[in-house]
Every structure is written in C-alpha cells, then in structure tokens.
Structure 1
Amino acid sequence: MMQRKLALLVGIGALTILLMLKWEHVITLMNGETTSVQPWQRAPTDTITPIPGSRHLMVSAFKDHRLGGAIRVISIICRQELQPLYCVLCANAKADTTAKADANAKTDGALSQCTYLQAKVDVHTDDFGFPFVTSDVLCLSPMSQQFTRVSITTNPYDIHNLTFLSIQNQEVKDSFRYNFTVCISNLFGEYNNALQFAQTMEVYKLTGVQRVVIYNTSCGPDVEKILKYYRKEGILEVVPWPIDKFLTPSTGWKYDLHHGDIHYYGQLTTLNECIYRYMYQSKYLLLNDIDEIIMPYKHANLEKLMGTLQQQHPNAGVFRIENHIFPKTQFDDSGRFRLPRWRSVPGVNILEHVYREPERKYVYNPTKLLIDPRSVEQTSVHSTLKQFGPVLTVPFDVCRIIHVRVPLQGQLSKDQLFVDKKLWEFEELLIPSIDRALNQSGLL
C-alpha cells in the first residue's frame, strides 16, 4: 500500500514538473526566444498557403516601414473562427550554426535564426457578409533583427514543417520603376473577352500606364493568348490566384444574394496584395476592373493629370474617380470602327459604344481609385479603409471611368444618352497597336 502511494506521488510530481516546463516554454516563446531551424520556403508560383491548425489562409508578407517595420501578412481569415495566431519570424544565420536540420526536408538550404511571438489580427471592415475576410496578420517584433521570412501558425511549439513566405519591401525607396500601374483584381469563369481586353491594354499604354497586374483564377483560350503576348512584351504581370482550390468563391458582391465563402473570388485580398506588391515599384496605382478605363478628360495623359492634382492637393494620396456606364447594347450608327478583321475575335468592341448613361441624382455612383500606394494601409473596392492623408473625389469632367458593360438604365433610348467619343481621339495610334497585338497573339 505504501509503495503504491509512493509511486502515485512520484507520478504526480513528474507530471507537475512536465507541466511547469511546458508552461515555461510557452512564456519564452511568447517573449521572443530564438532558435535555429531550416524553414521550408514556398515556391514562387504559390500564392495561397493554408495556416496550419485553422481554416485561415496566408497570401504574402511585407515589411511596413510606416508602422515601425512591422511585418504585415496579407491573409484571408474565417471571421467565425478567430483564434490566437503566432508569427514565426526568421533571419538567415551563419553557416556554422550548430542547429540540426532534417536532411530530407525540402528547403532553400539556408539555416535560420527564428523568433516566435503572438500576432495581432486586423480583420478588414468590409466583408459584404461573407465568412472569409481579407485581413492583416501583424507581427510586431521589438527586435531589430533583419527578418527575411515569416510563417503564421496556431501552434508555436511545432515549427519545423511550416511553409515560410519571403518578406518583401525590405527597403524604403523614393524612386520607382513605373509611374502608373493598373491592378486588375481577378480573372475568373473562363473569361474570354479578348477584343475588349486587347483594346483596353492599348488605351492604357497611350494614357501613360507602364505596368498592368492581373490576378488570374481562370480565363478562356483567346484571352490566354493575349496574356502571353503582353507578358512577353513586358507590360503585364500575371499572378496565379487559385482561390477556388481552397474556398468556394462567390461570383457576386453580396452574401445574401450570391452566397459562397468569399466575396468575388477574393477581390479585396488581391487589391490589397497589389498595393503592397507595388508599393515601392510604382509611383501611382489604378485600382479598377478589367472592363474599366480611368480616363483623363482635361489632360493629355495620366502624368499631366496627376501633376495638376498633386499641385492643387499636395497632401492627398487617394483620388476617387467616378464610374460612368457606356452600355454595350447601344452602337455608334456610323459603323466607323466596325472593322471586318475584328469580327472573328471574341469580345466587345469598345470603340463602337460611344453613348454614356446620365447620372442619377439620387443613386450612388460608385468610384474606383487612383492612389499613391504609400498613402494607403487598407482598401476596399470603391474606397480606402485606412489611409494616411486626405481623400479627393475628382470632378467627373476632369477624369472619369469609361466602363463598357451591360446597361444599368436599360430603359433609356439612345436619344436620352450622352455621346462621348473620347476613345476616338486615340484612333491614329490605337488602331495599329490593337491590330499588332491581335496579330502577334494569333487571333487575326
């Protein structure tokens, strides 16, 4: 009997010591203890990564110098399943480190010193009712170490099989490779509007756009040929966006009407990702859809437009541009741009649609954004959520969006619409450039 009591006491004591050690381990991890590991690096073509132990997803990581060097991980969080998340921050260590690594692990060959700390989760306020929401997972480390990689996890004890993201935007830059970059949030549903896409790309170039970024879930065979042409030309970056492999995307904007896990194939996530991806690559970003063109009306190009706006409003970094609908059901009567050689190319010929719907006095007219990315922390589709400095709504006679699509006021006759032939001003340069793009893409 005495022996059994003694054995029981020994067992309880051992368990207590084990629990104390485990609790001490938790404290040291949360206080930023470092260790050496050999992290798995995500392949460059991977753009969405599950966060272990959760339904959340991480997308990309950036150093935010405006927040004291915090690491911002663009993520998609299931707001119904919020839970503590932990950052694992790593910096390359010297080659003579004594840490042991698994020889069979898929790594980039660099041993790293890693730090663990609890993350701050900032869920964006615009979710349109969907359960999965664009979010920022912030790693606020007090250490001055130059971290190069980060992973997010629910379990700070097991870090040896995590997938790590490269931390981008390591340095602040005040000169940029591009002046104007267009961020197009999503291609999905086998989108194959090749003619309108090629025409729009050529208009972009004539207004001063030097870079276009497209997040591609799926597109049709003709648009695929156009994408290949513009990538080869150097103006286009196509970012793979396989959101449908992880969630059930909605094809509409409102949960009650369209259902699904996430708004419009993750449109809000890609817009925010593009802002940080090009924060130190482009002076300005245009955040609009693939069938929209932000068009200066009082200036020859975007550079002259922004020169005037920034001179008049030197502290503004966000410029809201009004959307104006050009119904694709109403055609120019002259047939001037109804070119026979374009008839075999699928899609809308935007040069034929010169009739613009009038504004409705008591109906909200949505805007899209032209921004200085260094002035924006978070964005929605039609407005920013967090920004530094004032926001300016640009008068529609100075700049507006040419949006060729199905009508919103379909009951109006042609006589009740406004004639707007702004695109025709580019005819001399535009038509040959469209022909060249379609020819070299193999569509003519």
Structure 2
Amino acid sequence: MRRLRLWCCLRLCTLQTFANLFVASFLVYNVCVYVSRSSQNEELRPTEAASAVFNPRTLLAPVVTQASVDELPSVGRVPPAADRHDLEPTDVWQNVTFSVGKFFVFSAYFERRMRPRFVRVIATGRVHLPSTLRPLYCRLHFSNGSEATVRAQHRVIKENWGLAYTARFVLCPTDEPPRAVSLFEKSADLGSRPVTVQDVQPSAARLGRFAVCVKPFHYEYNRAVWLVEFIEFHRLLGVSRFIFYNHTVGPDVERVLRFYQSRDLVTVLPWHIALRSQKEVRTENMFAALNDCLYRTMYRYSYTALVDVDEYIVPRQHADYGQLFDLLGGRGRETYGSYIFQNCFFYLYWENDTAVAERLHLSPQQESQFPYLISLYKTRRVRTPHRFYSRSKYLVVPERVVEAGNHQVWEHAPGFRSMNVGEHFGLVHHFRICEFGGFDCMKKDSIVDRTTHRFIRPLAGQVLAVCDAIFGGNCPVAPPLGSPW
C-alpha cells in the first residue's frame, strides 16, 4: 500500500511538471509570436508613415487628386494672355503733389450699380483736407480718343485710426465708361498719369466661385510654409484665386508667390507707397488694399473672403465653402451682401497637438522633420468666441458691397445687409501671439478644437508636394515669433 501511494505521488508530480512545462511553453510561444508581429508592425509603420508624409505623391495621391500639384500647369509655364484671369497687376501707386501736399492714386473702376454713374478711384490723402484746397478734377480718356473734364468728389474710407492719411475714394461722374482717368488741379500743370479704368459688367462670366483677398505683406514677411499652408487649406475649401499686395517679402515667400503665379492661382500687386506705416497711415494702407480687392473681384467671383494669412474661416458642418454657401446663399439669396463669422484666438504659445503625429503615424524623428502647420498643431482656442463685429472676418458678394472694412462691411449696396453666421456653421481660426503682448492670454478659459483635422491628410500631402516642387525638399523653417513685448 505504501509503494502504491509513492507511485501515485510520483505520477502526479510528473504530470504536474509536464503541465507546468506545457503552460510555460505555450506562454513563451505566444509572447514570441506577439513580439515578432509587433516588430514586424513597427518595421512597417515607419515605412507607411514615410510614404504618407514625405512621399505624398504616392500614398496621399488618391486623396489630393482634386487639387494636387500635378493637375496644375508644369513649373515655369505661364498661361497665355487669352487664358489669364483679368486681374493682373497693371496698377501701381502714384505720388502726385497737389496743393494739399502728398496725394496718391492707385486704381480705378467704373461704377455701374448707381445713378448717376461714375468712376471710382482708389486713392490716399490727408484725412482732413484744408479749406484752401484747390478743386480736384478728373480728366476722362475715352476709347474713341475724346476727353472730358469733370470735378472730382472726395469720400474718406471710414477706418483711419486717427492718423494723418487715409484711404479714400475719388468719384468722377460720367455716364459712359472711359478707357482711363487722371486727376489734376485746374491751375496746376502737373497731375497723375492716366490710370486704366476697369469696367466689369454684371453680364461678365464668372472666373470662379471663391476668391481670397489679403492685406499687404510687410516687414519682409518670410513665413513661406505658413503661406503655402494658407493657400492649400483654402484650395481645399474651394478657393480658386488669391490676391496679395506686396510691400515687402522675404526670399522664401517670394519663391512661393512666383510658383503660384506661374500656375495662375495668385495675383500679386506691388504696394509701395511713400507713407510711414502706423505713423502716417494704418498698416501699409490696408484699407485701400481691401477695397481695391473688393472691386477687383466684383462680378468675377461669387464670393470673396477678406482675411489675413493667420486667419482661416473654417466651416464646422460642411466639407468646404461650396456646401456651406449653398446653404447660406439659399437663406435670403436676394437679401445678404456679406457673411460675418465670429473670431476665436488660437494662441501660438499654447501647446502643440500631439494628435497630428498619432493620426499620421509619425515617429518622433519624422515629426521633427514635419512642417510646422499651425492649422493642425494649434488646436487649443479661447472657449468663447468674440462677439460679432469685434475681430470678425467675413465673405462678401462683391457687387453687393460699396465699402469694406477690416472686421465688417461699412456700406452695402442698396437693399443688402450682413448675415451674422452662427458659430455652429463656422468660426474664424485666428493664430497669433497674445494681442496685448506678454503671456497673459494663456490664462484665458480654453478648449481643444480639432475641426481642421478633417483636412489633415490632404493638407499635409499638398503642402509637402508644393514644398518639394518649390524648394526641392522639405519646407523651410519659419522664422521665430519674436519678442512678445
């Protein structure tokens, strides 16, 4: 009996040992398989990510075909004149010395919407003209060789910030559109050189549905990657024309502008005026630029957005501007001339969003080489948007607006008004440092808003493809933000 018990114990021990060994072997096998598969996945992920990010023409090509670089004319090809949009820079600032002192003339447009009709000249002069000012006259040059002289009327554009000089309209009454117009004082020999009068009629065929106007570049603006991002983001939203005013830009931005000009997407107008910015006139005479662009796109584009390069009007429920304005335009198609969107600051001092690397499967090394796209990395914003008309930005139906301002329309054509667009339809994503200097803005109540991340793959692909075409590789690093003080 004792031997039987001993034999049973030995058998049980042996079976337990084999069981333990089996379980241990099974666990080791699964761990090895898991590690092996994980290592294979880790070997694949960088390759896929590298293709998605650094070779956008391959993996990302299927999602950017609608607006890819390959669908545009080849590098260096400039479309012939017959194919070009009638928006090319034929206008420059003229410095004309009248009895009032410095006076500047830029462009002219024939105004068909009002009676009596007239030529509207975009000009700049002193806010308060002296009572001793000699009358200013318009000399109208017609295509048949005839000329006519009429007395000019002045109209100051509202925003001048209390500085000595302001953008203004000079109005020259005429029933028929002249070929050109020049300004002069009757008792003086000197006057302005003739300025071509642009006459775009309501029956003209549209060149596109959406255009963007941007205030003048200045201070040697050289954030090339942010400019490419701005253009490509808006192309995804349906914009087909960008109009920029160039006071001064850096070499990288100049290359970007030339690239897009060669593809007939961008119009760049020289913007050199002999006035001191912020001391004599507001921010490179920006209000003249905004109103010139308003009239330059009139009847040529259905909608024009007036924004800066650090501002994005982003739809929240719709894929692009086309879908959004199919809705908004249908609500009072014959009533609204402008569409106002509330502003939200996305302060650049707040942290970068780690979801960019996660969604694009970027390794730390790859992310360090990935361009710094503010619309993707800066997703923390102030919780409560600004009220309407405070920091707002907007789109207009150009022919329904008479005078444009920075944050609102100052005057609509008769019968039209503004629509305040609810934040659930769209917001202005405004990327900047603290507006009053320092870092106190970071203490404001904030939330994370990743609305722009639905564009993350096509935007990344297009920006990288454009940078490759322009710079032969990665996008150039943006200059530092500078001192907040």
User: What TM-score bracket applies, with the shorter chain setting the length?
Assistant: 0.7 to 0.9
Relative to structure 2, which stretch is displaced further, 74-83 or 62-71?
A: 74-83
User: Which residue number corresponds to residue 332 of structure 2?
Assistant: 313
- The CA deviation string for residues 274-294 of structure 1, in whole angstroms up to 9 with x for no partner, is 011111211110000011111
User: Which residue number corresponds to residue 67 of structure 1?
Assistant: 114
Q: Distance in 1 between matches of 2:336 and 2:205?
A: 19
- Give unpaired runs (5+ residues) of structure 2: 1-87, 475-485
- The CA deviation string for residues 90-142 of structure 1, in whole angstroms up to 9 with x for no partner, is 1133xxxxxxxxxxxxxxxxxx311111111111222110111111100113x
Amino acid aligned to 1:182? V
- Residues 99-114 of structure 1: pairs in structure 2 closer than 5 A: 112-114=145-147
Q: Distance in 2 between matches of 1:327 and 1:207?
A: 23
Following superposition, the deviation at residue 264 of structure 1 comes to 0.6
Match of 1:275 among 289, 294, 297: 294
Match of 1:247 among 257, 275, 282: 275
Runs of 4+ aligned residues of structure 1 deviating over 4 Å after TM superposition are: 43-46, 337-348, 360-364, 412-416
- Residues 280-295 of structure 1: pairs in structure 2 closer than 5 A: 280-295=299-314
Following superposition, the deviation at residue 408 of structure 1 comes to 4.8
Q: Given the superposition, is the C-alpha separation of residues 183 and 384 from structure 1 closer, same or farther in structure 2, using an over 3 Å criterion? A: same
- Residues 336-355 of structure 1: pairs in structure 2 closer than 5 A: 336=357, 349-355=374-380
Maintained 8 Å contact 2:177/2:199: no
User: Which residue number corresponds to residue 221 of structure 1?
Assistant: 251
Q: Distance in 1 between matches of 2:428 and 2:465?
A: 25
Q: Given the superposition, is the C-alpha separation of residues 221 and 344 from structure 1 closer, same or farther in structure 2, using an over 3 Å criterion? A: farther
Following superposition, the deviation at residue 401 of structure 1 comes to 1.0
Q: Distance in 1 between matches of 2:325 and 2:387?
A: 30
**Which has more helix, going by share of residues?**
2
SS at match of 1:71: strand
Q: Distance in 2 between matches of 1:272 and 1:199?
A: 25
Following superposition, the deviation at residue 193 of structure 1 comes to 1.2
User: Which residue number corresponds to residue 212 of structure 1?
Assistant: 242
Maintained 8 Å contact 2:89/2:270: no
Following superposition, the deviation at residue 431 of structure 1 comes to 1.3
Maintained 8 Å contact 1:322/1:401: yes
Please give the root-mean-square deviation of Cα atoms over the aligned residues, in Å: 2.6
User: TM-score w.r.t. structure 1 length?
Assistant: 0.77
Following superposition, the deviation at residue 79 of structure 1 comes to 2.0
Q: Given the superposition, is the C-alpha separation of residues 194 and 149 from structure 1 closer, same or farther in structure 2, using an over 3 Å criterion? A: same
User: Which residue number corresponds to residue 89 of structure 1?
Assistant: 140
**Sequence identity of aligned pairs in percent?**
24
SS at match of 1:228: helix
Maintained 8 Å contact 1:194/1:345: no
SS at match of 1:66: coil
Please tell me whether residue 324 in structure 1 is matched to residue 344 in structure 2.
Answer: yes
Amino acid aligned to 2:346? F
Match of 1:149 among 161, 177, 180: 180
Please tell me whether residue 399 in structure 1 is matched to residue 426 in structure 2.
Answer: yes
Match of 1:383 among 392, 395, 408: 408
Match of 1:184 among 201, 204, 214: 214
User: TM-score w.r.t. structure 2 length?
Assistant: 0.71
Maintained 8 Å contact 1:325/1:408: no
Aligned residues: 370
SS at match of 2:452: helix
- The CA deviation string for residues 178-215 of structure 1, in whole angstroms up to 9 with x for no partner, is 10000001100011111211111111011111111110
- State which structure, 1 or 2, has the greater radius of gyration over its C-alpha atoms: 2
Q: Given the superposition, is the C-alpha separation of residues 163 and 361 from structure 1 closer, same or farther in structure 2, using an over 3 Å criterion? A: closer
Following superposition, the deviation at residue 428 of structure 1 comes to 2.5
Maintained 8 Å contact 1:194/1:346: no
- Give unpaired runs (5+ residues) of structure 1: 1-42, 94-111, 251-259
User: Which residue number corresponds to residue 18 of structure 1?
Assistant: none
Amino acid aligned to 1:386? E
Q: Given the superposition, is the C-alpha separation of residues 177 and 329 from structure 1 closer, same or farther in structure 2, using an over 3 Å criterion? A: same
Following superposition, the deviation at residue 155 of structure 1 comes to 2.6
Maintained 8 Å contact 2:91/2:107: no
Q: Distance in 2 between matches of 1:397 and 1:305?
A: 11
Maintained 8 Å contact 2:342/2:385: no
Q: Given the superposition, is the C-alpha separation of residues 333 and 263 from structure 1 closer, same or farther in structure 2, using an over 3 Å criterion? A: same
